[in-house]
Chain A
Amino acid sequence: MKFKKMTSALLAAVLLGTTALTGCGSGNDSVAEDGRKNLKVFLYLNDHESEIYKEMINKFQEEHSDTIANIDLQITTQDEYETTLTGMMTAGDMPDVFYVGPNAVEQYVENGYIENLTPYLEEMNISTDGLMQNIVDSYRYDGEKTGSGDVYALPKDSSVFAYAYNKDLFDEAGLEYPDPENPYTYDEFVEVCKKLTKDTDGDGEIDQWGAGFANAFMLYQFIWSNGASFTSDDYKTITIDTPEFKEALQKYVDLTLVHKVTPTVEQDASLGVYQRWLSGQEAFYACGTWDVAAFMDKETFPYNWDLCTFPTLSTGKSMTWLGTVGYCVSSSSENKAEAVELINYLSTDADGQREVSGITTGNSIQIPNITELAEGEFIEAINNGTLKYPSNVNVIFDYMNGTDKVDGRFMETNYTPNAEWSDIFFAGVDKVKNGSMSVDDFIAEIQPQMQEALDNAWDSVS
């Protein structure tokens, strides 16, 4: 008797402890008691964005209060996003709406995670024609490759990684500003950078550089502008051993080793090139469309600056990478129609786009998804000063849409099942940049490893 009592008391204690904190666990029913729908949304957003998006989602919910009872928005950081999402997949507990990048469309469709949006859009009479077409296309999949076919996601944003310069440093050096429409050649770039690299306080050590380069984001521009690429067109073969690739890499590291116009690898380790740009130690640095609000904020970046283009190599074309992430609907969602409505609203609602692009708020964290808005109100707001934006905003649209002198594209990792092969490259490239290894040796050493990782990646999805 007593024994049983004890055992059950013990069990009860353990169970109590367990259940006391489970309230938050699972059990989010897709349909509320009154028949209205519940939606679960999982996104990564920075602090800036999350306020705006929370507001947008609340507004949507109010407007649809007859059909939607509750929208549960779970926000995480970009670093954690992928891990958490795979965790949700593992648990078989997918949110109704989440992100997908162009790289994952094929994989997600083939594994049956995301829903084809085209039938829903047709039925609801929603057209995607007003959106930036090359971005929408990156979410199309025809059963064999991405780029054409039915739409599987609507863009949350599209971003451009443009180049930028610190006007104050140019003024100090008495140099002419870069021409946003005519990119520097490599040699011109080196010349300008040399004039901007100096020891300002006279202690014998360089403390201002022409430029700073974060390898993982700013090597592509050199590679592509030299007509090379990390992989073959089918993204199955590593092609870093081409003469074009090697030459581009050589010129990239020469900026540090030969021309000495960038912080060294050691200097970069103590204070990152991004931080050095923010403290006015570098004349050139890159600016993503998401950086604009921060760079325009005098607290963060107390200098005058403007946008420009990356220098060109043998092709004469200035290149950079574009980014995008899109909203998709889980194929296991029980409220697909409502979910499609929500993502259509998030992606294309004009008021929402005015907010995030800064037309109404003055602080821009992305360019509008809607072409008309981007070319009209957005530019107007910049011109009349209500939107804080550098004047050479056209650089961004040039990269986005492509001209004969500049163009943008997605990174190769956007098309491969994972980025491990590229991580291998960037984990070691500093050995070349610090002069301890030659370009040829490095490539010879690293290429087989990268190829193996890439093979494994493709193997893992076949």
Chain B
Amino acid sequence: MRKNVSKSKKTKIVDTIIFILLLIGAVAMVFPLVYMFFSSFMTKNQILSANFSLIPDPWKFGKYTEVLQKPEFLRGVRNTLLVAVPVLLVGSFTSSMAAFSFSKLNFKGKNAMFLGLLSTMMIPFAVVMIPQYIMFTKLGWANSLLPLIVPGLFGNVGMIFFLRQNLNSIPSALAEAAKIDGCGYFRIYYQIFLPLMKGALMTQVILWFMGIWNDYLAPTIFIQDEQWFTLQVVIRSFNSYYAVNSDYPLIMAASVLAILPTLLLFFFFQRFIIESMAISGVKG
């Protein structure tokens, strides 16, 4: 009895030490972001002063209004959403259908096709970016958002993989029973399995949205008309444009605004997101 108490006391001390160490680490991890947040309220002079300071003096809130009034910025947000909405709607439909098929139906070449799709995750984007660039410009798509939208409509390999994983844990007997009842395949997918994978699908949609929101490489290569720049491209051009006048508070404010949506999404859905990330490592 006594021994047990002292042991748990010891555990408690160890726990506290570990917690403090982890806390220090965590603070160090987010410190740059905190610094970014605070410096967006500083004056130019404070940022450029030789002495380090974290708390703005005085607090300036004007940079956020300034950024939000820039037409480029709003256009960037609009364009990003114009990409995200159709891609997520159509893309998650095509992906979930494919995942259903890979998991619950039998057809010729199923495994080969699945492996083929999966292997594309290994192919560097650098290999396909030049031909894709040529393809999109020849099609006259460089002055639109199509290069970012159309490939997504066909589905997303990562999503297919995860949903298939998810469906594999649902008994196939359900599908068999429905087949015997004379239920059409699309109805089996739509009325039985789609509701069953709703949770997993939501998580994947959120992750995909974050991917689209944060994507920089494809937009910067494929989109040539300023009119259609997505948010990340706009943020980058802000960086080169306003650094000349050392307007770092504005750059920081714009960056904060660019991070905020994904951060909020993450905070609200973190349980699902972390779970789904964890699966990729353990089962992948």
State yes or no: do A and B touch (Cβ within 8 Å): yes
Residues of A with Cβ closer than 8 Å to B? Answer: 2, 6, 10, 13-14, 17-18, 20-22, 24-26, 74-77, 79-80, 83-84, 87-88, 90-93, 203, 271-272, 274-275, 278-279, 300
- On chain A, the residues within 8 Å of B150 by CB distance are 17-18
Contact with A along B125-142 (1 / 0, CB 8 A): 000000001100111111
Q: Is the CB of B137 within 8 A of A91?
A: yes
Interface string of B141-158 (1 = CB under 8 A from A): 111111001100110000
The stretch of B114-122, B210-218, B237-245 that contacts the partner chain = B237-245
For residue B25, CB closer than 8 A to chain A, the reply is no
Contacts of B146 in A (CB 8 A): 18, 21-22, 25
B15 is an interface residue with CB less than 8 A from chain A: no
A6 to chain B, nearest CB (A): 5
Residues of B with C-beta under 8 A to A77:
226, 237
A91 engages B154 (CB within 8 Å): no
A271 to B47, CA, bound (A): 12
Q: Are A2 and B184 interface neighbours, CB within 8 A?
A: yes
Q: Is the CB of B224 within 8 A of A21?
A: no
A21 x B140 contact (CB < 8 A) = no
A419 vs B259: C-alpha distance when bound (angstroms): 36
Closest to B83 in A: A21
Report yes or no: A14 in contact with B153, Cβ–Cβ below 8 A: yes
**Which residues of the other chain, B, contact A10 by a CB distance below 8 angstroms?**
94
Contact B225 A74 (CB under 8 A): yes
State the CA gap A6–B225 with chains docked (Å).
36
A-B contact pairs, 25 of them (CB 8 A): A13-B93, A17-B90, A17-B149, A17-B150, A21-B144, A25-B141, A25-B144, A26-B143, A74-B225, A76-B226, A77-B237, A80-B226, A83-B224, A87-B224, A88-B142, A88-B224, A90-B134, A90-B137, A91-B139, A91-B142, A93-B140, A271-B48, A272-B243, A274-B244, A279-B246
Residue of B nearest to A75 (CB): B226
Residues of A within 8 A of B237 (CB): 77
* Contact present for B149 and A25 (CB under 8 Å): no
Identify which of B82, B89, B93, B154 contacts A21 (C-beta below 8 A). B82
Cβ contacts under 8 Å, A278 to chain B: 245-246
Q: Once the chains are docked, how many angstroms separate the CA of A83 from the CA of B227?
A: 16
Contact B144 A24 (CB under 8 A): yes
Contact B244 A80 (CB under 8 A): no
With a CB–CB cut-off of 8 A, which chain A residues contact B138?
A: 90-92
Closest beta carbon of chain A to B133's beta carbon, Å: 8
Q: In the complex the two chains form, is A21's CB within 8 Å of B145's CB?
A: yes
For the complex, what is the distance from the CA of A274 to the CA of B240, rounded to whole Å? 13
Range of interface residues on chain B? 35 or more
* CA gap between A77 and B39 in the complex, in Å: 28
CB-nearest residue of chain A to B221: A83
Query: Is B244 a contact of A87 with CB atoms below 8 Å?
Result: no
User: Inside 8 A of B139's CB, which chain A residues have their CB?
Assistant: 91
- Min CB distance, A55 to chain B, in Å? 18
In the bound complex, how far is the Cα of B243 from the Cα of A274, in angstroms? 11
B142-187 with Cβ < 8 A to chain A: 142-146, 149-150, 153-154, 184, 186
> Which residue of chain B has its CB nearest to the CB of A46?
B241
Contact of B224 among A18, A84, A274 (CB under 8 A): A84
Residue of B nearest to A299 (CB): B245
Residues of A within 8 A of B50 (CB): 203
User: What residues on B are CB-neighbors of A20 within 8 Å?
Assistant: 86
| Contact status B244-A18, CB under 8 Å | no
Q: Inside 8 A of A275's CB, which chain B residues have their CB?
A: 243-246
Contact of B143 among A25, A75, A79 (CB under 8 A): A25
Complex Cα spacing A93 to B136, Å: 13
Given contacts A87-B224, A92-B138, 18 further A-B contacts (CB under 8 A): A14-B90, A17-B90, A17-B153, A20-B86, A21-B146, A21-B149, A22-B144, A24-B143, A24-B144, A24-B227, A26-B140, A79-B240, A84-B224, A84-B225, A88-B137, A88-B142, A90-B137, A279-B246
Determine whether the beta carbon of A17 is less than 8 Å from that of B86.
Answer: yes
B148 to chain A, nearest CB (A): 10
Q: List which B67-112 residues lie within 8 A (CB) of chain A.
A: 82, 86, 89-90, 93-94
Beta-carbon nearest neighbor of B45 in chain A: A279
B186 and A6 contact, CB distance less than 8 A: yes
State A98–B47 Cα separation when bound (angstroms).
41
What is the distance, in angstroms, from B225's C-beta to the closest C-beta of chain A? 7
Residues on the A chain within 8 Å of B143, using CB: 24-26, 74
Q: A90 CA to B134 CA in the complex, in Å?
A: 7
Partner of A87, one of B142, B228, B245: B142
Q: Of all chain A residues, which has the CB nearest B225?
A: A74
Closest A-chain residue to B152, C-beta based?
Answer: A17
Q: For B89, B143, B186, which residue has the most chain A Cβ atoms within 10 angstroms?
A: B143
Task: Tell me the chain B residues, 186-200 only, with Cβ under 8 Å from chain A.
Answer: 186
Taken together as a complex, chains A and B put the C-alpha atoms of A383 and B94 apart, in Å, by 70
What chain A residues lie within 8 Å of B82 (beta carbons)?
21
Asked whether A80 lies within 8 Å of B153 as measured between CB atoms, the reply is no
Q: Which residues from A are CB-within-8-Å of B245? A: 275, 278, 300
State how many angstroms separate the Cβ of A370 from the closest Cβ of chain B.
Answer: 31
B96 CB to nearest chain A CB (Å): 13
Q: How far is the CB of A38 from chain B (nearest CB, A)?
A: 15
Min CB gap B256→A, angstroms:
22
What's the Cα separation between A90 and B133 when bound, in Å? 10
Chain A to chain B: the 6 pairs with minimum beta-carbon distance, closest first: A26-B140, A84-B224, A91-B137, A17-B86, A87-B137, A25-B144
